[in-house]
Structure 1
Amino acid sequence: MGDEPLAIEIGPAPETGEGPHRVWCRLCGRPLTGAESRRTGLGPACDAKLHPPGPDIRTRRHEVAQDTLPGL
């Protein structure tokens, strides 16, 4: 993961000249602190809004009441 290109450029802070500058979420504007969030440019909550998990097909299964077969 360390070799992946960044979605945004992270360089030194313009005020101090040392250390990384703040990176802001592209959707809500809050500052990002995590490495993965800084790499994608989205915070965890905003990323979950844009990329929701797939449906859980196990919740759609249910038992069906059936009559017994004649002769058994």
Structure 2
Amino acid sequence: MGDEPLAIDIDSAPGERTGPPPVRCRLCGRPLTGASSRRSGLGPACDAKLHPPGPEIRTRRHEVEQDTLPGVP
């Protein structure tokens, strides 16, 4: 046993984080867990607020009345 390192770190207080600080959302301050959220700095809800999805093409189309083709009954 002599000079073997201990399995636990006795110098740190219980509940103290030893890793890097948590990454927080730049808009609301909540901790981010997903890799893409951590990269962008925004959570999914805040990202949706700042970057709403574009309109679908089908919503921009509308029906137009047309004359019937000649020779079609």
Q: Within 5 A, what are the aligned runs for 1:3-42?
A: 15-16=16-17, 18-42=18-42
Measured in 1, the distance between the counterparts of 2:64 and 2:33 equals 50
Measured in 2, the distance between the counterparts of 1:19 and 1:62 equals 56
**3-state SS in 2 of match to 1:47:** helix
Tell me what 1:62 maps to. Answer: 62
Structure having the higher Rg: 2
Q: Percent of pairs identical after alignment?
A: 80
- What amino acid does structure 1 have at the position aligned with 2:47? D
How many corresponding residue pairs?
56
Give how far 1:21 is off.
1.9
Measured in 2, the distance between the counterparts of 1:36 and 1:68 equals 53
Higher strand share: 1
- What amino acid does structure 2 have at the position aligned with 1:30? R
Worse-superposed segment, 19-28 or 60-69: 60-69
Tell me what 2:10 maps to. Answer: none
Q: What RMSD, in angstroms, separates the aligned Cα atoms of the two structures?
A: 1.9
Q: TM-score, normalised to structure 2's length? A: 0.60
Task: List alignment gaps of at least 5 residues for structure 2.
Answer: 1-15
